[in-house]
Chain A
């Protein structure tokens, strides 16, 4: 798992802004957008839904993607995946 400082330095290949949507909106947005991320690329997910923090790592692990970590600021979560 990467530290918040390390996560902040990542350059995302795709940003999914799912703030303001409730479960399962953020997860479905991630599923839809993952095709736009190249293999080995980074996806940054912004979500104000706390459940997303648990759903995304589970979903990613099952598909062989790597959950890199997350941090919270200003009322939302930023989650990182590596495809």
Chain B
């Protein structure tokens, strides 16, 4: 049976949305979907080696940030990087860093990003992947 494909345009650099992306990735992994993630603008900040584990910005309900982060801890929710890593271990997940986005955050080389990233890409790759994906999400 041919696997379904999920194309995820990941724009966000905020842990609330990255955590949501991790949950969705888990669902895709459970369904054996092939996943391609395109790390765009603000997400490239979160994928930088020096930021990934220290960035705790949230995009929404910002006045409840401490409560939100405490709840993630209370519920044993893995850090988004671990959720992504787990999904990578269970199904095919390719993570592409947008070359422009990387440069915005002074990330010129793949080595500037956490080891989850597979390569640096251009926008044509995203468009072509999104064109044929069974599910195309923007977060």
Contacts and interface: CB of A to CB of B under 8 A. Distances in A.
A4 interface: no
Contact of B90 (A22, A25, A32, A59): A32
A28 B77 contact: no
Interface residue range, chain A: 10 to 19
Nearest to B25: A24
Query: Interface on chain B toward A: helix, strand, loop, or mixed SS?
Result: helix
Query: Interface on chain A toward B: helix, strand, loop, or mixed SS?
Result: helix
A77 to B, nearest CB: 16
A28 B76 contact: no
B75 A22 contact: yes
Interface of B: 23, 26-27, 29-31, 75-78, 86, 90
Interface of A: 20-25, 27-28, 30-32, 55, 59, 62
